[in-house]
Amino acid sequence: MKILACGDVVGRSGRKVFVDNIADLRRRLALDFVVVNGENAAHGFGITEQICNSFYEAGADVITTGNHVWNRREILSFLDGDSRLLRPMNYPKGTPGRGTGVFTTAKGSKVLVIHPMGRLFMDSLDDPFAAVEAELTRHRLGVTVDCIIVDIHAEATSEKMAMGHKLDGRVSLVVGSHTHVPTADAMILPGGTAYQTDMGMCGDFDSVIGMVKETAVARFTSKLPMYRLQPSAGEATLCALFVETDDETGLAHRVGPLRLGGCLSEQWPP
């Protein structure tokens, strides 16, 4: 199975680079499944029903989010009705939406997407490791599902790496989101799980993690409350991670980053 996991979409330029390219990427890479993180898609904070639908129409199979999913209040009712839009799984019981889902590809393969959020330097949620373990008691890679993708939305690289090693050999892919900067550690772990600490963002990199750089710098250098972050509107780079899995085991045998457009150097999977 061939999978593309796309980094956090930031603002209009991020939406454009994703929507304009994903159909061609599906053809060019013969993709079976596309997951994209959309938590910053609506003017840099949150996501809307309209944006979700535009991503689905472009070629996304599932949208993950993160701590900013709640910034657009209108999404609360939509979360309960859209099984393809995931919020972090380790919010308290009763929180709108869902954090996992099993999805069927056009070829009939079953893909489980698990979406935990880290706790280091972030909100104090339920234990993400225990939440993932509970989900894996219900599904087994290569038996009940053909592929398992884990998008861990976390600040600390150590927490993401710990999740990767804990799940090695039991899931197809562990990939990090949230920090918006693509890391250079795409690899297959010893047990056969593909891993990258952060897949980066779909957004303008002539910025501070997708936000207008002058405003972001001013917020660091002044404590005055007048500086409101706005997404940078320059040409965006699409950052993603490509993974190919074994059809029998569901484990990875090929992984590599993809970068397209904008000011970062172009890169295609090996």
Cβ contact 260:17 at 8 Å: yes
Residue 13's pLDDT is what?
A: 97
46 alpha-carbon distance from chain centroid: 14
Cβ contact 36:55 at 8 Å: yes
Quickly state the pLDDT bin for 153 (edges 50, 70, 90).
very high
Q: Helices marked H in 2-136 — which ranges?
A: 11-28, 49-58, 75-81, 128-136
Q: What is the DSSP letter of 178?
A: S
Query: Is residue 58 predicted with pLDDT exceeding 90?
Result: yes
Lowest mean pLDDT across 223-227, 248-252, 263-267: 223-227
Is 68 assigned a catalytic role?
Answer: yes
- Mean residue pLDDT across the chain: 96
Helix (H/G/I), strand (E/B), else coil: 74:
coil
Q: Could you tell me which of 137, 187, 131, 130 has the C-alpha nearest to residue 164? A: 187
Residue 170's pLDDT is what?
A: 98
- DSSP states along 215-260: HHHHHHH---TT----B--S--BEEEEEEEE-TTT--EEEEEEEEE
Q: How confident is the model over 87-111, as a mean pLDDT?
A: 96
Residue 126's pLDDT is what?
A: 95
Percentage of the chain beyond pLDDT 70 is 100
Residue of 68, 115, 178, 180 with catalytic role: 68
Q: How confident is the model over 179-196, as a mean pLDDT?
A: 98
Residue 231's pLDDT is what?
A: 93
Domains for the chain: give ranges and CATH numbers: 2-260 (3.60.21.10)
